[in-house]
Amino acid sequence: MSLEFSGSVRAATLVSCALALSACASAVSLIQLDNEWARTYTARLETERANPDFLVSMTSSASFDAQLADLSARAEREGDAALAKDPPMAVGFYRVAAAAAWKSGTARETQVLPISDKGIRACESLPKKDASQPRDCAFIRLVPELASLDVKMREINGLRTAGPQIPADKFSRTVAVTGEVTSLMGQVLSVSAAAVSPPKSFSDYVAINLNAEFCNLQGLTGRFASSNPPPEQKAQMSDLVNAAEQKLQAAGVSTTCN
């Protein structure tokens, strides 16, 4: 799968993939929470697209954090309540809870891993385990790595926007966080590859996220190179990004940035 997106097309495709990740359900409460997740996430993406500057985008989208954190908490409670009597429904709730926590930023992202653990246990209790609900279970297993990537990307965007050049006292950390991001990308690819019969919407969603993260990383590399770092650090940075690019391309993920 090779995907090439402009910023606006990437945002629109992320929306459609997020909608496709929503599971069908017979319970009105899960449908309502799914719809709330899709609406809020869509609104957040539109806000970020309208404000491409990182600092402006962070400020304008901050109002969504509390909404997503509240949605995550409600979905998690519903999952807990459904677990004993309806594990498949619980899995759906945990997927919404994990997704909303992931995109709530600092408001609730620390709960992604505990929610994912609950969801994994619920998936293990299904008749065919993950194969019973491949889309939900694959996402639940993957979302901690995606959340970790977002944390690192906030740091990267901070380095990119702090000034015309990266300060010399930040050179070592810039190289270190680049290594952490490339390692996380490898973990995302591994977890995604291990998913049981994931639908195309899931694979597309992963690929689009990885493409966006790689492009942010590439932007940092350019800023770093123009900041006159020591040659060995410049070479190390380049090696890390090139290795990430090769891994993504080998997995069929686009590394084209617009």
Cα–Cα distance between 169 and 119 in angstroms, integer?
42
pLDDT at position 203: 85
**φ and ψ of 62, to 5 deg:** -60, -30
The reply to whether 41 falls in a domain is yes
Q: Is residue 169 part of a domain?
A: yes
Gap between the Cα atoms of 187 and 195, Å rounded: 12
Q: Is 255 domain-assigned?
A: no
- Half-sphere exposure in the Cβ direction for 47 (13 Å, CA): 17
Q: Evaluate if residue 240 carries a pLDDT over 80.
A: yes
Residue 200 domain flag: yes
Mean pLDDT score, 216-243:
94
Per the rule left: phi > 0, alpha: psi between -120 and 50, beta: everything else, 53 is beta
Band (pLDDT 50/70/90 cuts) for residue 56 is very low
Whether pLDDT at 223 is above 60: yes
Residue 256 lies in a domain: no
Residue 167 belongs to a domain: yes
1 occurs within a structural domain: no
Residue 198, sorted as left (phi over 0), alpha (psi -120 to 50) or beta, turns out to be: beta
**Which residues lie below 8 Å from residue 254, measured CB to CB, with a gap of 6+?**
2, 3, 4, 5, 207, 211, 248
Of 13, 10, 72, the closest CA to residue 40 belongs to: 72
135 has pLDDT over 70: yes
Task: Judge whether 257 lies within some domain.
Answer: no
Q: Which of 181, 90, 71 is nearest to 136 (CA)?
A: 90
If one counts the domains in the chain, the total is 1
Q: How much is the pLDDT for 5?
A: 37
Confidence of residue 23 (pLDDT cuts 50, 70, 90): very low
Predicted confidence (pLDDT) per residue in 152-200, tens digit = 988 998 898 888 899 999 999 999 999 999 999 999 999 999 888 777 8
What range does the domain containing 201 cover? 7-250
